Homo-oligomer: A and B are copies of this chain.
Amino acid sequence: MSRPTVRAVHLVSRPDGAPTADDFAFVDETAPALADGQALVENVYQSVDPYMREEMDEGGWDLHAPLEGRTLGRVVESRSGALPTGTLVHHRKAWRTHSVVTAEEATPLPDFAGVPLRAHLSVLGGTGLSAWVGLTRIARLQPGETLFVSAAAGGVGTAAGQLARLLGAGRIIGSTGSAAKAAHLTDRLGFDAAFDYHDGPIVERLREAAPDGLHVYLDNVGGDHLEAAIGALRDRGRIAWCGAVAQYNHLQSPPAAPRNLYDVVGKSLRLEGFLVRDHLDARPELYDFLVPHLRSGAVVPDETVVEGFDHVVDAFLGMLRGANTGKMIVQLADVRDV
């Protein structure tokens, strides 16, 4: 039988600042014959995420070579007993239409009937898990508490708002980059208040949105948001600082450290950073908590889906510019075939 053509994206140059489409190239090749233990996966959905920007710098992705990222696909040919044809899997060999994987490289997806497949890249995936870990393990959000989320219209932020509501948060406040996104947060995602951070000092917007102060801040951005949140937190408040560090590493200098950091002592605050890769064991907790709400329709994942492999680079660049609300996902193949 003739081998399928694999279309892939390679990185061909390292950007200085904001990346452009010219930093990438599309490459076609024929799928290799499978060795024993390998399976060929037709990729259906791929995630594009902020951390990928860091991978474009020296020390990250190789030039002129396959890239990586969270991907969902279906086994279409197999020489692996653990990955029979038809199995739906999660793997990291992304930026290509088909991937060759071994059983060590691909995880069969749990069968959650009634849950959209791509939820495994959004609220059940890395961004949802980041929100879950930040709220439950790091900040230990309690019922009735007031939560502030920065980058609230992004993948982690929208999941955090939805999860916090289910966890019984008393008041949920989001910061985002446009009035339209702020309206999306309050009108569609159940945030109690949201503001465009371009619209005057964050410290004033927080005073309006949370006159009694914050209990928890889920930070994705640092800088002036962190400073304003430290000012607005109540005694014994907690800051869960999520691993969006990739946003900083390609900058000349990171955002200024908060001038009021010493309030951490006076208000007995806790500031804790985390990387979701250290908390993958929390995934079963997230599944148990969230899947019933996904099945019932009480939670609808907030996603921006870009269709077609030819648009994967555009989707990535758009995500960096904040063109998405919720999780940015690229659909590579027809999902009805799955």
Instruction: Say yes or no for A287: interface residue by CB 8 A criterion.
Output: no
Q: How far is the CB of A53 from chain B (nearest CB, A)?
A: 15
Instruction: Say yes or no for A61: interface residue by CB 8 A criterion.
Output: no
Residue of B nearest to A253 (CB): B259
Contact A241 B264 (CB under 8 A): yes
Instruction: Say yes or no for A261: interface residue by CB 8 A criterion.
Output: yes
Of B254, B263, B275, which one neighbours A262 at CB under 8 angstroms? B254
Alpha-carbon distance A243/B266, docked complex (angstroms): 7
Contact B262 A248 (CB under 8 A): yes
Interface size of A in residues (CB-CB distance below 8 Å): 30
Instruction: Say yes or no for A29: interface residue by CB 8 A criterion.
Output: no
Alpha-carbon distance A324/B267, docked complex (angstroms): 29
Alpha-carbon distance A222/B278, docked complex (angstroms): 28
Number of copies of this chain that the complex holds: 2
Instruction: Say yes or no for A320: interface residue by CB 8 A criterion.
Output: no
Q: How far is the CB of A245 from chain B (nearest CB, A)?
A: 4
Of B242, B266, B274, B275, which one neighbours A245 at CB under 8 angstroms? B266
Which of A245, A264, A278 neighbours the largest number of chain B CB atoms within 10 Å of its CB?
Answer: A264
Alpha-carbon distance A263/B257, docked complex (angstroms): 11
Contact digits for A240-254, partner B, Cβ 8 Å, 1 yes 0 no: 011111001000001
When distances are taken between beta carbons in the complex, the residues of chain B under 8 Å from A268 are 272-275, 278
When distances are taken between beta carbons in the complex, the residues of chain B under 8 Å from A248 are 262
Alpha-carbon distance A261/B236, docked complex (angstroms): 20
List the 4 closest A-B pairs by CB distance, nearest first. Answer: A257-B257, A265-B273, A264-B273, A270-B272
Residue numbers of A with Cβ under 8 A of B are 222, 236, 241-245, 248, 254-259, 261-275, 278
16 further A-B contacts with Cβ under 8 Å, apart from A254-B261, A268-B278, are A236-B278, A245-B265, A248-B262, A255-B262, A257-B257, A257-B261, A258-B261, A264-B271, A264-B272, A265-B273, A265-B275, A266-B273, A268-B273, A268-B274, A270-B270, A270-B272
